[in-house]
Amino acid sequence: MRQPFIASFAISLLTLPVLAQGLPTPQEAERYRLPTTPTTAENIARSKKVELGYELFFDARLSGNESISCASCHLPTKGWSTNGRPKRANDTVMPRASQTVLGMGHTSNEKRGWGANRESAVVLMKAVISEAGPMNVKPPELVAKLNDVPAYKALFHTVYGRDGDMDAVIDALDIFMKSIEYPKTRFDHWIAGNPLALTDAEVKGFRTFTGETANCTTCHGGPRFTQDAMHDIGLKVDAAKPDKGLGDVTKKAEDDFAFKTPTLRSAAQRAPYGHDGQVASLDALVEHYMKGGEARPTLSFEIQRFSLTAEEKSNLVAFLQSLDPATQEFLPPLKIAKVAAERP
Protein backbone atom coordinates (compact mmCIF):
# COMPACT_ATOMS: atom_id res chain seq x y z
CA MET A 1 0.00 0.00 0.00
CA ARG A 2 1.08 3.62 -0.55
CA GLN A 3 1.05 6.59 1.74
CA PRO A 4 0.05 9.95 0.22
CA PHE A 5 3.04 12.24 0.02
CA ILE A 6 1.63 15.52 -1.18
CA ALA A 7 0.21 17.85 1.47
CA SER A 8 -2.43 20.42 0.64
CA PHE A 9 -4.64 23.11 2.13
CA ALA A 10 -8.23 23.88 1.30
CA ILE A 11 -9.48 26.93 -0.56
CA SER A 12 -12.87 28.50 -0.20
CA LEU A 13 -15.64 27.32 -2.51
CA LEU A 14 -17.93 30.22 -1.64
CA THR A 15 -17.07 32.24 -4.75
CA LEU A 16 -18.16 29.59 -7.26
CA PRO A 17 -20.76 30.80 -9.78
CA VAL A 18 -24.31 29.39 -10.05
CA LEU A 19 -23.93 26.52 -7.62
CA ALA A 20 -25.44 23.14 -8.40
CA GLN A 21 -28.01 21.65 -6.06
CA GLY A 22 -27.98 18.08 -7.39
CA LEU A 23 -26.15 15.16 -5.84
CA PRO A 24 -24.61 12.08 -7.46
CA THR A 25 -26.62 8.91 -7.46
CA PRO A 26 -25.50 6.18 -5.01
CA GLN A 27 -24.10 4.26 -7.98
CA GLU A 28 -22.09 7.27 -9.14
CA ALA A 29 -20.81 7.93 -5.63
CA GLU A 30 -19.61 4.34 -5.37
CA ARG A 31 -18.03 4.21 -8.82
CA TYR A 32 -16.19 7.54 -8.69
CA ARG A 33 -14.99 7.63 -5.08
CA LEU A 34 -11.20 7.77 -4.90
CA PRO A 35 -9.55 4.80 -3.18
CA THR A 36 -8.25 5.48 0.31
CA THR A 37 -4.70 4.72 1.39
CA PRO A 38 -4.64 3.57 5.01
CA THR A 39 -1.59 4.03 7.21
CA THR A 40 0.19 0.70 7.52
CA ALA A 41 3.50 -0.56 8.81
CA GLU A 42 4.55 -1.09 5.19
CA ASN A 43 3.83 2.55 4.35
CA ILE A 44 5.75 3.78 7.38
CA ALA A 45 8.73 1.61 6.45
CA ARG A 46 8.68 3.13 2.97
CA SER A 47 8.66 6.73 4.20
CA LYS A 48 12.46 7.07 4.09
CA LYS A 49 12.53 5.70 0.54
CA VAL A 50 9.91 8.30 -0.39
CA GLU A 51 12.06 11.00 1.19
CA LEU A 52 15.11 9.88 -0.79
CA GLY A 53 13.14 9.47 -4.01
CA TYR A 54 11.64 12.93 -3.58
CA GLU A 55 15.09 14.52 -3.42
CA LEU A 56 16.33 12.51 -6.41
CA PHE A 57 13.23 13.33 -8.46
CA PHE A 58 13.96 17.07 -8.26
CA ASP A 59 17.74 16.79 -8.53
CA ALA A 60 19.47 18.02 -11.69
CA ARG A 61 22.48 15.87 -10.83
CA LEU A 62 20.58 12.98 -12.45
CA SER A 63 21.29 14.49 -15.88
CA GLY A 64 24.74 14.47 -17.43
CA ASN A 65 25.07 18.24 -17.72
CA GLU A 66 22.89 18.92 -14.65
CA SER A 67 20.40 20.88 -16.74
CA ILE A 68 17.24 18.83 -16.09
CA SER A 69 15.72 16.59 -13.45
CA CYS A 70 12.80 14.17 -13.50
CA ALA A 71 10.63 17.11 -12.43
CA SER A 72 11.61 19.04 -15.56
CA CYS A 73 9.31 16.72 -17.52
CA HIS A 74 6.89 16.01 -14.66
CA LEU A 75 6.11 19.33 -13.00
CA PRO A 76 3.73 19.27 -10.00
CA THR A 77 2.19 22.56 -11.15
CA LYS A 78 1.38 21.04 -14.54
CA GLY A 79 -0.36 17.91 -13.35
CA TRP A 80 3.00 16.18 -12.87
CA SER A 81 3.58 16.49 -16.61
CA THR A 82 4.47 19.31 -19.00
CA ASN A 83 2.74 21.50 -21.55
CA GLY A 84 3.77 19.88 -24.80
CA ARG A 85 6.85 17.89 -25.67
CA PRO A 86 9.75 18.41 -23.25
CA LYS A 87 13.44 18.75 -24.00
CA ARG A 88 16.21 16.25 -23.27
CA ALA A 89 19.36 17.21 -21.37
CA ASN A 90 21.04 17.91 -24.74
CA ASP A 91 18.27 20.46 -25.50
CA THR A 92 16.62 18.45 -28.28
CA VAL A 93 12.82 18.11 -28.23
CA MET A 94 11.35 14.69 -27.51
CA PRO A 95 8.93 13.20 -30.06
CA ARG A 96 6.25 12.55 -27.45
CA ALA A 97 4.67 14.52 -24.63
CA SER A 98 5.37 13.63 -21.02
CA GLN A 99 2.90 11.31 -19.34
CA THR A 100 1.68 12.33 -15.92
CA VAL A 101 2.91 10.31 -12.94
CA LEU A 102 -0.23 11.13 -10.94
CA GLY A 103 -1.70 8.03 -9.32
CA MET A 104 1.00 5.85 -10.82
CA GLY A 105 0.73 3.44 -7.91
CA HIS A 106 -2.89 2.64 -8.80
CA THR A 107 -2.40 1.69 -12.45
CA SER A 108 -3.85 -1.57 -13.72
CA ASN A 109 -1.37 -1.69 -16.60
CA GLU A 110 2.26 -1.91 -15.44
CA LYS A 111 3.64 -1.29 -18.91
CA ARG A 112 4.89 2.27 -19.31
CA GLY A 113 5.21 4.75 -22.13
CA TRP A 114 2.56 6.02 -24.54
CA GLY A 115 3.14 2.92 -26.65
CA ALA A 116 3.54 0.54 -23.68
CA ASN A 117 7.12 0.14 -24.86
CA ARG A 118 8.57 -0.50 -21.39
CA GLU A 119 7.63 -3.47 -19.23
CA SER A 120 7.53 -1.46 -15.99
CA ALA A 121 8.33 1.90 -14.42
CA VAL A 122 11.70 0.50 -13.31
CA VAL A 123 12.60 -0.53 -16.86
CA LEU A 124 11.48 2.88 -18.16
CA MET A 125 13.55 4.79 -15.60
CA LYS A 126 16.65 2.74 -16.40
CA ALA A 127 16.23 3.75 -20.04
CA VAL A 128 15.64 7.41 -19.19
CA ILE A 129 18.53 7.72 -16.72
CA SER A 130 21.20 6.49 -19.12
CA GLU A 131 23.72 7.85 -21.59
CA ALA A 132 21.37 7.19 -24.51
CA GLY A 133 18.27 8.38 -22.66
CA PRO A 134 16.84 11.88 -22.12
CA MET A 135 19.03 12.45 -19.05
CA ASN A 136 22.17 11.74 -21.10
CA VAL A 137 24.15 10.47 -18.10
CA LYS A 138 26.51 7.56 -17.51
CA PRO A 139 25.15 5.59 -14.51
CA PRO A 140 28.60 4.98 -12.89
CA GLU A 141 29.34 8.70 -13.04
CA LEU A 142 25.91 9.54 -11.61
CA VAL A 143 26.32 7.13 -8.70
CA ALA A 144 29.79 8.50 -7.90
CA LYS A 145 28.43 12.05 -8.02
CA LEU A 146 25.59 11.24 -5.61
CA ASN A 147 27.86 9.42 -3.16
CA ASP A 148 30.11 12.48 -3.11
CA VAL A 149 27.24 14.39 -1.47
CA PRO A 150 27.46 13.54 2.28
CA ALA A 151 23.72 13.96 2.87
CA TYR A 152 22.88 11.56 0.02
CA LYS A 153 25.45 9.01 1.16
CA ALA A 154 24.04 9.08 4.68
CA LEU A 155 20.48 8.70 3.42
CA PHE A 156 21.42 5.79 1.15
CA HIS A 157 22.95 4.05 4.18
CA THR A 158 19.87 4.80 6.31
CA VAL A 159 17.50 3.41 3.69
CA TYR A 160 19.51 0.66 2.01
CA GLY A 161 22.41 0.01 4.38
CA ARG A 162 25.01 0.74 1.69
CA ASP A 163 26.42 3.43 -0.57
CA GLY A 164 24.15 4.53 -3.35
CA ASP A 165 23.97 2.49 -6.55
CA MET A 166 21.66 2.51 -9.56
CA ASP A 167 19.36 -0.14 -8.09
CA ALA A 168 18.83 2.05 -5.03
CA VAL A 169 18.35 5.22 -7.11
CA ILE A 170 15.73 3.57 -9.33
CA ASP A 171 13.96 1.90 -6.40
CA ALA A 172 13.70 5.15 -4.41
CA LEU A 173 12.38 7.02 -7.46
CA ASP A 174 9.85 4.26 -8.12
CA ILE A 175 8.59 4.31 -4.53
CA PHE A 176 8.34 8.10 -4.53
CA MET A 177 6.43 8.28 -7.79
CA LYS A 178 4.01 5.61 -6.61
CA SER A 179 3.34 7.77 -3.53
CA ILE A 180 2.03 10.68 -5.62
CA GLU A 181 -1.70 10.48 -5.08
CA TYR A 182 -4.47 12.21 -6.99
CA PRO A 183 -5.23 15.55 -5.27
CA LYS A 184 -8.82 16.08 -4.23
CA THR A 185 -10.91 18.00 -6.74
CA ARG A 186 -14.22 19.83 -6.50
CA PHE A 187 -15.66 16.83 -8.30
CA ASP A 188 -14.47 14.58 -5.46
CA HIS A 189 -16.16 16.87 -2.92
CA TRP A 190 -19.36 16.63 -4.95
CA ILE A 191 -19.11 12.84 -5.16
CA ALA A 192 -18.59 12.79 -1.37
CA GLY A 193 -21.95 14.54 -0.92
CA ASN A 194 -21.35 18.29 -1.11
CA PRO A 195 -24.03 19.62 -3.51
CA LEU A 196 -22.34 23.04 -3.66
CA ALA A 197 -18.98 21.79 -4.91
CA LEU A 198 -19.91 21.86 -8.61
CA THR A 199 -21.82 24.34 -10.71
CA ASP A 200 -24.96 23.35 -12.57
CA ALA A 201 -22.98 23.46 -15.83
CA GLU A 202 -20.33 21.10 -14.44
CA VAL A 203 -22.93 18.63 -13.20
CA LYS A 204 -24.61 18.69 -16.60
CA GLY A 205 -21.18 18.17 -18.16
CA PHE A 206 -20.67 15.12 -15.98
CA ARG A 207 -24.01 13.73 -17.18
CA THR A 208 -22.88 14.26 -20.78
CA PHE A 209 -19.53 12.62 -19.97
CA THR A 210 -21.24 9.51 -18.55
CA GLY A 211 -24.10 9.47 -21.05
CA GLU A 212 -24.50 7.23 -24.07
CA THR A 213 -24.04 10.00 -26.65
CA ALA A 214 -20.45 10.97 -25.79
CA ASN A 215 -19.64 7.55 -24.30
CA CYS A 216 -16.51 8.95 -22.60
CA THR A 217 -16.54 6.41 -19.76
CA THR A 218 -15.74 3.50 -22.08
CA CYS A 219 -12.10 4.61 -21.92
CA HIS A 220 -12.15 7.14 -19.06
CA GLY A 221 -14.48 5.55 -16.50
CA GLY A 222 -13.98 5.12 -12.76
CA PRO A 223 -12.35 7.36 -10.15
CA ARG A 224 -9.02 7.48 -12.02
CA PHE A 225 -10.74 8.48 -15.28
CA THR A 226 -8.74 5.95 -17.29
CA GLN A 227 -8.89 2.22 -17.94
CA ASP A 228 -5.14 2.14 -18.78
CA ALA A 229 -6.01 0.53 -22.12
CA MET A 230 -4.46 1.07 -25.55
CA HIS A 231 -6.53 2.77 -28.26
CA ASP A 232 -6.15 4.35 -31.67
CA ILE A 233 -8.21 7.51 -31.16
CA GLY A 234 -7.74 8.75 -34.70
CA LEU A 235 -5.11 11.44 -34.26
CA LYS A 236 -3.29 12.70 -37.33
CA VAL A 237 -0.16 10.79 -38.37
CA ASP A 238 3.03 12.19 -39.84
CA ALA A 239 3.21 10.19 -43.08
CA ALA A 240 6.95 10.84 -43.44
CA LYS A 241 7.76 9.53 -39.97
CA PRO A 242 4.72 7.76 -38.48
CA ASP A 243 4.68 7.03 -34.76
CA LYS A 244 2.79 3.74 -34.60
CA GLY A 245 2.66 3.51 -30.81
CA LEU A 246 1.90 -0.03 -29.69
CA GLY A 247 2.34 -1.22 -33.27
CA ASP A 248 6.02 -0.28 -33.15
CA VAL A 249 6.36 -2.55 -30.10
CA THR A 250 4.33 -5.59 -31.16
CA LYS A 251 4.95 -5.27 -34.92
CA LYS A 252 1.29 -6.17 -35.45
CA ALA A 253 -0.64 -4.07 -37.95
CA GLU A 254 -3.78 -4.20 -35.81
CA ASP A 255 -1.89 -2.42 -32.98
CA ASP A 256 -0.76 0.50 -35.14
CA PHE A 257 -1.41 3.99 -33.73
CA ALA A 258 -2.70 2.65 -30.40
CA PHE A 259 -1.55 4.68 -27.40
CA LYS A 260 -2.16 4.41 -23.68
CA THR A 261 -5.25 6.19 -22.36
CA PRO A 262 -4.21 8.91 -19.88
CA THR A 263 -6.09 9.96 -16.76
CA LEU A 264 -8.27 13.03 -17.12
CA ARG A 265 -7.48 14.18 -13.60
CA SER A 266 -5.59 17.49 -13.72
CA ALA A 267 -6.01 17.40 -17.51
CA ALA A 268 -6.67 21.14 -17.75
CA GLN A 269 -3.14 21.74 -16.46
CA ARG A 270 -1.55 19.54 -19.11
CA ALA A 271 -2.50 21.02 -22.51
CA PRO A 272 -1.79 20.32 -25.33
CA TYR A 273 -3.12 16.77 -25.59
CA GLY A 274 -2.40 13.49 -27.32
CA HIS A 275 0.81 11.46 -27.30
CA ASP A 276 2.55 14.17 -29.32
CA GLY A 277 0.66 17.23 -28.11
CA GLN A 278 -1.16 17.85 -31.39
CA VAL A 279 -4.50 18.81 -29.78
CA ALA A 280 -4.27 22.35 -28.44
CA SER A 281 -7.05 22.57 -25.83
CA LEU A 282 -9.87 20.76 -24.07
CA ASP A 283 -12.32 22.41 -26.48
CA ALA A 284 -10.32 21.06 -29.42
CA LEU A 285 -10.11 17.65 -27.77
CA VAL A 286 -13.89 17.40 -27.40
CA GLU A 287 -14.26 18.58 -31.00
CA HIS A 288 -11.84 15.85 -32.13
CA TYR A 289 -13.95 13.14 -30.53
CA MET A 290 -17.18 14.64 -31.87
CA LYS A 291 -15.76 14.39 -35.40
CA GLY A 292 -14.74 10.76 -34.82
CA GLY A 293 -11.02 11.08 -35.56
CA GLU A 294 -9.12 10.07 -38.68
CA ALA A 295 -10.78 7.11 -40.42
CA ARG A 296 -8.46 4.10 -40.79
CA PRO A 297 -8.66 0.33 -40.21
CA THR A 298 -7.08 0.51 -36.75
CA LEU A 299 -9.38 3.23 -35.40
CA SER A 300 -10.81 1.96 -32.11
CA PHE A 301 -14.43 0.88 -32.29
CA GLU A 302 -15.18 3.10 -29.29
CA ILE A 303 -14.37 6.22 -31.34
CA GLN A 304 -17.69 7.10 -32.94
CA ARG A 305 -18.82 10.44 -34.34
CA PHE A 306 -21.45 12.18 -32.16
CA SER A 307 -23.16 15.55 -31.86
CA LEU A 308 -23.46 17.97 -28.96
CA THR A 309 -25.06 21.38 -28.76
CA ALA A 310 -22.78 24.34 -28.04
CA GLU A 311 -24.08 24.36 -24.45
CA GLU A 312 -23.49 20.63 -23.99
CA LYS A 313 -19.94 20.98 -25.29
CA SER A 314 -19.28 23.93 -23.00
CA ASN A 315 -20.67 21.99 -20.03
CA LEU A 316 -18.49 18.99 -20.83
CA VAL A 317 -15.36 21.13 -20.92
CA ALA A 318 -16.42 22.77 -17.63
CA PHE A 319 -16.73 19.33 -16.04
CA LEU A 320 -13.27 18.31 -17.27
CA GLN A 321 -11.87 21.48 -15.71
CA SER A 322 -13.47 20.52 -12.39
CA LEU A 323 -11.05 17.56 -12.28
CA ASP A 324 -8.21 19.97 -11.50
CA PRO A 325 -7.08 20.14 -7.85
CA ALA A 326 -9.53 21.91 -5.53
CA THR A 327 -6.71 22.70 -3.11
CA GLN A 328 -3.48 24.62 -3.40
CA GLU A 329 -0.75 22.00 -3.49
CA PHE A 330 2.60 22.58 -1.87
CA LEU A 331 5.68 20.45 -1.41
CA PRO A 332 8.02 20.07 1.55
CA PRO A 333 11.30 21.96 1.15
CA LEU A 334 14.12 20.11 -0.59
CA LYS A 335 17.18 19.55 1.58
CA ILE A 336 19.70 17.91 -0.75
CA ALA A 337 18.59 18.23 -4.36
CA LYS A 338 20.24 20.60 -6.79
CA VAL A 339 17.18 22.02 -8.49
CA ALA A 340 17.31 22.51 -12.25
CA ALA A 341 16.60 25.94 -13.70
CA GLU A 342 13.21 26.13 -15.45
CA ARG A 343 13.62 25.82 -19.19
CA PRO A 344 11.61 27.71 -21.83
The answer as to whether 130 is a domain residue is yes
What's 119's DSSP letter? S
**How many Cβ atoms sit within 10 Å of the Cβ of residue 170?**
21
Reported as a pLDDT band with limits 50, 70 and 90, residue 315 is very high
Mean pLDDT of 142-171: 97
Query: 131 is in which domain, residue-wise?
Result: 41-181
User: Has residue 3 got a pLDDT over 60?
Assistant: no
Contacts 24+ apart (CB under 8 A), 215-222: 215/302, 215/304, 215/306, 216/289, 218/302, 219/261, 219/302, 220/261, 220/263, 220/264, 221/31, 222/31, 222/32
Mean pLDDT of 118-132: 90
* Res 2: pLDDT: 43
> Looking at the structure, do residues 170 and 279 belong to the same domain, yes or no?
no
Mean pLDDT of 176-190: 93
User: Has residue 239 got a pLDDT over 70?
Assistant: yes
* Per-residue buried b or exposed e for 272-294, using 16+ beta carbons within 10 Å of the residue's own CB: bbbbbbbbeebeebbebbbeebb
What is the domain-level CATH number for residue 162? 1.10.760.10
> Looking at the structure, do residues 132 and 190 belong to the same domain, yes or no?
no
What are 201-235's pLDDT values in tens digits?
999 999 999 999 999 999 999 999 999 999 999 99
Task: Count structural domains, the chain.
Answer: 2
Considering only 18-32, 83-97, 260-274, which range has the smallest mean pLDDT? 18-32
Reported as a pLDDT band with limits 50, 70 and 90, residue 37 is low
Say how many CA atoms lie within 13 Å of 12 toward its Cβ. 3
* Res 39: pLDDT: 55
The answer as to whether 166 is a domain residue is yes
User: Has residue 11 got a pLDDT over 50?
Assistant: no
Considering only 29-43, 220-234, 327-341, which range has the smallest mean pLDDT? 29-43
Of 136, 160, 181, the domain-final residue: 181
pTM: 0.88
Percent of the chain with pLDDT over 90: 78
> Looking at the structure, do residues 234 and 145 belong to the same domain, yes or no?
no
* Res 211: pLDDT: 96
> Looking at the structure, do residues 210 and 289 belong to the same domain, yes or no?
yes
Q: What is the pLDDT of the chain when averaged over all its residues?
A: 89
* Res 5: pLDDT: 42
* Res 119: pLDDT: 80
Of 115, 150, 181, the domain-final residue: 181
User: Has residue 108 got a pLDDT over 90?
Assistant: no
Mean pLDDT of 100-120: 85
What are 42-60's pLDDT values in tens digits?
565 578 999 999 999 999 9
- Region class of 91: left (phi > 0), else alpha (psi between -120 and 50), else beta: left
